[in-house]
Every structure is written in C-alpha cells, then in structure tokens.
Structure 1
Amino acid sequence: MKPLTEQGFAADLHRALAQPTRSISPKYFYDELGSALFEQICELPEYYPTRTEFALLRQHGAEMAELIGADAQLIEYGAGALGKVRLLLAHVERPQSFVPIDISGPHLLQACAALQAEHPALKILPVVGDFTHAVALPAAPEPGAGQRVGFFPGSSVGNFTPPQALKFLAMTAEQLRGGGLLIGVDLIKDPALLHAAYNDSQGVTARFNLNLLERARREFGAQFAADGFSHSAFYNAPLRRIEMHLLSMRRQIFSLQGIDYEFDAGETLHTENSYKYSVAGFQALAERAGYRPGPVWTDAQNWFSLHWLQAPPR
C-alpha cells in the first residue's frame, strides 16, 4: 500500500490496520449514531461518571461560577449534548459567549439549537472540528473584560495517553491565557466498578464500540463478517487504564476501499483508553502543562473529580 498523506477516518483506519499492533483514535466513534449511543451510555446505571459529575455540578456550580467570573467566554471541548454546561450557565453571570467544539457537526448543531431556545440572549458560537488539535476560535474577550474559560467535563482527558494529555493541556493553557480550565477527571477505584461501567448489561457500550466498524461500512463500503468482531473492555491495572478493543472472533479478512487486511482469531483493533488518575497525580500533570492547580471537587466515594486549573497570565 502506498503511504497515506491525507487525513480523516479512512486514512487513519488504513494506517491502523496496516500496523502490527492496531490502534485508532476514539474520536472516530463520534459520527451521528455514535454520538447518540454515547448519550445512551451516559444514562446507564453502571456508568457512574455522568451521574457523579452532574451531582458535583449541581452541588458546587455556584462556587465554580465564581471562579469563572462575570462576562466570561466559555469554551467547551468535546461538547456533545451540552447537558452539563447548563448547570454552569445557571450560575455564570452575563456570559459573553459560549463556544462549544465537537467533531460531530449534526449532533452539535442540534444541541446548540435546543440550548439557544432555553437561553435566547446567549451568544452561541459552535465550532465543528477536532478539539484535540488547535482549532480557529472566536476572538477572546478584550483585556479588562471577562476571562476565557475552558470546560472539559466527562473524563475525556482519560482517552489520551499521559504524554498526549500533557500536550493537550499545554495547548489549552495557551488558548485560555488569563483565564482557566474546569475539567472532569475520573479517579482510580475498584476494578470491578470499572469493568461494569464499560461492559454494561444492556450491551450499549458494545454497540458503541462496534459502530466504529459499521461506520466504515456505511461511509466507505468496508466488508467484514457481521459477527466477525466482538466488544472487549478490561482494566489494565499496571497502566491504570480501561482498554477497549474490537476482538476478531476468527481468522478473517477486513476489506477497506479495495485493500484487504487479515485478522487472526484473537487479534484486536484497540479503539480507546480511559486512564484513571489520583487527584495529586493529575494536578502534577496539569502543573507541567503550565497550569496552576486550584480547587478540586470530589464525591463522597472519591470516584470522580472536577478540577479548577488557573491558566498562565496573558
């Protein structure tokens, strides 16, 4: 196969399938169907992060809004359905604008329309794009006006490896100079609880994972056996991360745009990591990225945390 220089799902999937150890970014989960399936995951009884973070935002939203301050520009990375930001907007004083960033355009624009109906006076400036790279943002508030503040809920920072997380945090520290970042971080806990969260009894997470291959079938005509792959998720304790894989159930061929890739039984395509942190460990990482760690809010069981990180001055 010739080297691929183009970007996007097809090119990255070819690159992943051509490697001895196959791995692809979890950002490709989030087409319209994948985004809808993730919203279903967030409602599952086994999936503790969403309800725990919602509870923290309800309990401490006013304290967080004080740190955000009046007339702020609020930027949400990986915005999704915009459920959690509503709990902040209930307390933030005169937000200058709200800039949600998400890779799934139709899902984002639909969510923005619903939020706009609830907040007619709020200036909503959606950005469809990959928030893991520097994207073009609207102008920041003028000096002397409100802060530019990032919001990154949902423990998505755990999808990055620690070096990737450091790079992402350093990028946001530059974008948010003079302001801060409010970020959700999942904490180290009982592996049994983690296993249940990523292997739910209704099989929604399995459908979410398998949808990556179905997306390749829909968009590029990929050919593979309908029952050829299964969902596999487990906690890798030494690396402090959940791993999600698509597991080949037998020897088979996966065909993509006329190129055949062979899978042996038991071989996998690694689709996601979800790293778990201690509070101190994450604060140390944020400090290396240029932030000054501030208040941290955790639930009574220490399952989940929300961190306020002060960005460098302008």
Structure 2
Amino acid sequence: MERADASDLLAFLAVARERSFTRAAARLAISQPTLSQTVQSLEERLGVRLLNRTTRSVTPTQAGERLLLTIGPKFDEMEVELGALSELREKPAGTIRITATEYAAQAILMPAMAKIAPLYPDIKVEVMIDVGLTNIVAAQYDAGIRPGELVAKDMIAVRVGPDLRMAVVGSPSYFESRKRPRTPQDLTQHNCVNLHLPTHGGSLYAWEFERNGRELNVRVEGQLVFNSSGALLRAALQGLGLAYLTEGQVQPYLSSGELVRVLADWCPPFSGYHLYYPSRRQASPAFSLLVDALRYRAK
C-alpha cells in the first residue's frame, strides 16, 4: 500500500464515521475542500463510489460500508499501539474514553477518579453518559461500565461494584390516593415514569421482576418518558409517578422517607457493574491504573 493510499483511507474513515465532511475536516485539521478532493481521488483510483453525498447527509455506499468494516478496526489497532508507545513513560498519562450509565458514573467512576486524579494530573477521563448498550468498538471507546449480565462474552470484564438490586419507588404524596401495587401486574393501573432506550430502536424499557424462579417483564405506561435515570428519580420525588431505579440510587430517599418502596420481594439481586473492554486492547499505563482503581474489592 502506497503512503498516499494510507492517508486517503484515513480521510475516508473520518468522513464515513462522522457522516459529515465538515466534522471530519475539523477532526483531521484540514480544509473541507481538501478533504473532499482527497476522498474523490481515492474513489477514482479504486474505480468505485464510496460515499453517497447529498446536501443534508453523507453515508457510505455498499462498497464504502464494506471498506469501513474491513479497514476501520485495523487502523484502530494501529492507533492504539502507537498510543500505548507514546504513553510508555515514567508517569502515566493519556485520555481514556468510557461510556457508563448515569448512576455508574456517579457511584463507581467518580470515587475512583477522586483517588487517582490528584496523583496523576496527566490522566484525563472522558465519560459519556448512555443508558443504552453502546458498541464501544464501533464508537471508539476504551471501555464501558454496565451490569455484568449485559456484557458481551467476547469482552474482558472486571467487576467494579457489588451486586445490584432494582427498586420500584414513589413518593408518599403519590400513594395518598392510590393503592400500593402488590404484584408487578398491578403496575398497569399506575402512572409509571418510563425510560427511553436509544439503542433498542427507541423502545421503552420493560421493568424486570423475578420471584421464586418466575421471571416477569412488565411494559408500564405513564405520562412521562426520560432517557436519564436522574430525571426518573426527580419525577418520583415530585410525586409524578412510580420509577424503577437501582437500590443504591434511591436508598438515601427511602431512609429519609421522601420515597416509598413497593414490590421489594419481586426484585432480587443481580450481577453488579463491570468495566468491560475488547480482549485485543493493549492496556496503557494510564488505563491499567484506572482499572486497578475501579476494581471491586469486597470488604
């Protein structure tokens, strides 16, 4: 492969991933006309169109999608290896990109960073809050944090928290005029605050229950839908409906009496949060340090 081909392929990858010549040009620190000419030259040499261009969007053609899936991971591997080499110095440094749920970021990531951030000022962590199941390879994240049962089998998984338990909660004011549900099916008679899952085609999260080996998923209904667990919590506190959240997130409000818990016997513990990342990832000193700080150690 000629050096010019490698440069042009990197230009194509940037446009295909950003779905925009403008954003890709900014990312590569070159002008948009130069980038457009580079990609056009690559298409002419290959004899095939790689991108469909309209005034509103840029999308890969079938050939472009194939090229993206084939060479993209290879360039990513080279970038990781070069990054690891640049970080081989006495003091760990570098940027780590992680996707996590809102509660995991608050309860798991922030306490770990509070320990290492003052000691290693050259380590930067970018945390993207996402309630969905993000493909960390395609989205170019270094790692993700999700409950262990959701982590793909081909990933390396490191336990970073204790077992989790869900809780159905509502405010005392909400229950003033309503009967408390005794079974998950009773939730269909309640105003429930829903969670929007962007990675599942925009569907709403089905509340999951289990008791005596019997599993039950309930698709609840209500007036409000959010894509943030923090918003669900605030809605419940204001008496706007029932919310389905992790026990740790609501425990302070249960203790203070601001929230009331129902259906506790239908919410057994399940595998806690795990940090996960591709098995082929070459761990940098900074990444290894963060993993060690996050690793769960039962007391």
Normalising by structure 2, report the TM-score: 0.28
Name the larger-Rg structure. 2
